[in-house]
Structure 1
Amino acid sequence: MPKPACQHRPVFRSKTLTAALAFLLGSLGAHRFYLYGLRDAFGWSHALATLLGVRGVLLLVATPTLPAGWLLAVLGAISLLTAFLAAIVYGLRPDPKWDSQFNVGLDKHSRSGWTVVLIVIFSLFIGAMMLMAGLAVAFQTYFESQVGHDAFR
């Protein structure tokens, strides 16, 4: 009897590693690729948005009021902030719920500990700081463009 051409064997997915990948490399889609493979469209959209965001920041450094630069920078910021949010969501998911979604039919089960808690804390702290800094820069640039640079000197 011939073997099937492609047998899919379930692979254990670590909640701690997923949260760490989302925290460290999430803007490049690393956590999505780890969970769903290289064919994941959302993983590639993270990577594309981050590359466009880098280009947007470079445009804004050259010309702070360029609308295309702002649009691209916002796309990159959304990718970065959603990666921090993903680290928080994955880290706070209960282990049984994680296993029922990503480790179905495996003997090994997730046992998250303090590492996941620290990743969640740092994700929340850094993500909130970046969001506040981004809003402050955006509002400052907007008000400077409305009033003019001479009023702030």
Structure 2
Amino acid sequence: MKNKTLAAWLAFLGGPLGLHCFYLRGLSSTLGWLLPIPTALGLYGIERARTFGMDDGLSWALIPILGFVISGCALTAIVYGLMTPEKWNARYNAGAATAAASPAGRTNWLTIGAVVLALLVGSTVLMASLAFSFQRYFEHEIEAGRRISQ
């Protein structure tokens, strides 16, 4: 039986590593194996920014990728947490004899906590990623315009 609360927390906390995909679909989950790639690219962008400074073009292109992955996983946690018990059990606990009455798909306070934190962190990271990428892009364009005018 797949627990909705555990899946929501795994999507929120371990989503960028694909932990929720492995929990729900097993080790054969393609998405679970692909999620660490953009996460690693974003972390590489952060490391480049620390090493070469914020003027490194590759770093400001890679850093928002991590933010978008975190935001997407937070959205997944929200979707899992707000899914009705009937839909949850039909989708992830269909093999059980009494899947419709299973307590694994019920919502409790821990599920609501995952949804609230995912909404808070996910929206903050998404807005920060957008602001960072737009700021760096426009600063780059202004600098390119200055070089052309001189």
TM-score by length of 2: 0.81
Kept in 1: contact 2:5–2:110 (CA 8 A) = yes
Give the one of 114, 126, 130 matched to 1:131. Answer: 126
Distance, in Å, in 2 between the alignment partners of 1:93 and 1:103 is: 13
Gaps (5+ residues) in structure 2? Answer: 144-150
Gaps (5+ residues) in structure 1? Answer: 1-11, 149-153
Give the one of 57, 62, 83 matched to 1:93. Answer: 83
Give the one of 15, 21, 24 matched to 1:35. Answer: 24
Give the one of 109, 113, 122 matched to 1:114. Answer: 109
Give the one of 83, 105, 117 matched to 2:73. Answer: 83
1:64, CA displacement in angstroms? 2.3
Q: Provide the alpha-carbon RMSD of the alignment.
A: 1.8
Closer, same or farther: CA 94–129 of 1 in aligned 2, 3 Å: same
Amino acid of the residue matched to residue 115 of structure 1?
A: L
1:147, CA displacement in angstroms? 4.0
Alignment of 1:102 with 2:55, yes or no, is no
1:4 equivalent in structure 2: none
Give the one of 42, 65, 68 matched to 2:58. Answer: 68
* Superimposed CA distance per residue, residues 12-46 of structure 1 (whole angstroms, 9 cap, x where no aligned partner): 10000000001111111110010111121111111
Percentage of matched positions with identical amino acids? 37
Q: Which moved more, 1:53-62 or 1:93-102?
A: 53-62
Q: Which moved more, 1:16-25 or 1:126-135?
A: 126-135
Amino acid of the residue matched to residue 123 of structure 2?
A: A
Closer, same or farther: CA 132–28 of 1 in aligned 2, 3 Å: same
Give the one of 8, 14, 23 matched to 2:12. Answer: 23
Closer, same or farther: CA 47–139 of 1 in aligned 2, 3 Å: same
Closer, same or farther: CA 70–44 of 1 in aligned 2, 3 Å: farther
Closer, same or farther: CA 72–141 of 1 in aligned 2, 3 Å: closer
1:90, CA displacement in angstroms? 0.6
TM-score by length of 1: 0.80
2:137 equivalent in structure 1: 142
Which contiguous aligned blocks of 4+ residues in structure 1 show a shift greater than 6 angstroms? none
**Higher share in helix:** 2
1:56, CA displacement in angstroms? 1.2
